Amino acid sequence: MKSVTVGIVDYGIGNHASVIHSLRELGCRVRVSAEADVLGSTDLLILPGVGAFPTAMQALHKCNLIGYLRQHAREQRPIIGFCLGMQLLATSSHEMQFTAGLDIIPGEIVPLTCQKWHIGWNALECTDRDSVLRASDGEAFYFNHSYCYEGPAEFKLGISRHPNPIVAAIRRGNVVGLQFHPEKSQSAGRTLLHNLISDLTHD
């Protein structure tokens, strides 16, 4: 994947070090920036994130990245969101308060109902037979979240169980959200990232 340049959206919230390490292990070139000109010169964007949804949206607003990311998606340019980054792709969130999201993939972020936190390793179950993630069906990935995505079935790629089904992956066009952390999921995460980046960039 040496021909692929990945841009990490740097809005002050995220686990950049582990993401950078994972991407470089795959042979990708990596650029970390909040500047539209820099991000626009890459083949694919990754939206990382840890923490609270309202804080993250405020940070994106301060960096003038909300309009840019929406336009990027409208142009069918690839974006992958990790954990909170996936949730930011949704229409809105009820974490702490009602907060509008990027509204790139329709749906809302709501509290987990059965248990407050979903932390640790859990299996991915692909719900779309044609999904690029099908090669990772049944593999375990690392989760750490207390809110989850609810939205139309057409955007859901996979679930995990805790013990009830939780949406683990979503997609609309060339925008994909992963509720888990592939960069912290060892060999399973590297394989999934390789397959997903290859699919989105046609590398």
DSSP letters, the chain, are -TT-EEEEE-SS-S-HHHHHHHHHHTT-EEEEES-HHHHTTSSEEEE---S-HHHHHHHHHHTT-HHHHHHHHHTT--EEEETHHHHHTSSEE-SSS-EE---SS--EEEE-SS-S-EEEEEE-EE--TT-GGGGGTT-EEEEEESEEEE--GGGEEEEEESSSEEEEEEEETTEEEESSBGGGSHHHHHHHHHHHHHHHHT-
Instruction: Confirm whether 125 is a catalytic residue.
Output: no
Catalytic residue selected from 118, 145, 162, 181: 181
Structure tokens, 101: 């999201």
In the set 28, 83, 126, 148, the catalytic residue is 83
Q: How far is CA 5 from CA 26, 29, 45, 83, 108, in A?
A: 11, 5, 9, 21, 31
Residue 83 bears catalytic tag: yes
72, 126, 183, 194: which is the annotated catalytic residue? Answer: 183
User: Would you call 183 a catalytic residue per the annotation?
Assistant: yes
Q: What residues are labeled active site?
A: 83, 181, 183
